[in-house]
Amino acid sequence: MQQLETLSQNDISKIAIDRVHNLISHTWLRQVKHEEMLQTASKLHQLMLENRTDKLLLSALATGSLSAETKEWLSTTYYKSLSELGLKKLARVLPYNLFNKLSFESVVTRAEALGTVNFEIRNFPSNEAALLWLRG
């Protein structure tokens, strides 16, 4: 499997690109606060726009639960912005902890109910499985 080229990395997350398959991979490296989530999402949005990618891997294995404020923002604002960017596929690798996993699931359920999602979303147990789907 080909390597991803790192575009940005800090103590919060790593953002990498697969130019051949037009996808960006975003991996959270630790639990994040709401403001860190907003700043990182803004950077990710900018990189997706600059590189014109239409597939996204969000790996949240290292994150804990989401705050109510973060869940609200993700479901009402962030997923809508991904639709507006022209995203076609979103692969998510969710935390193993059931409570944390359900926290992420509720975001998609709400976003879909609001009608802001017009891309395909699937959850995977590993980054490798997610990449296989995105590249397929």
Name the pLDDT band for 2 (thresholds 50, 70, 90).
low
Question: What are the distances in angstroms from CA 135 to CA 12, 33, 62, 96?
Answer: 26, 31, 23, 24
% of the chain exceeding 90 in pLDDT: 93
**Tens-digit pLDDT profile for residues 72-120:** 999 999 999 999 999 999 999 999 999 999 999 999 999 999 999 999 9
The total of other beta-carbon atoms located within 10 Å of residue 90's CB is 21
* pTM assigned to the model: 0.94
CATH match of 5-135 with 3.30.750.24: yes
% of the chain exceeding 70 in pLDDT: 99
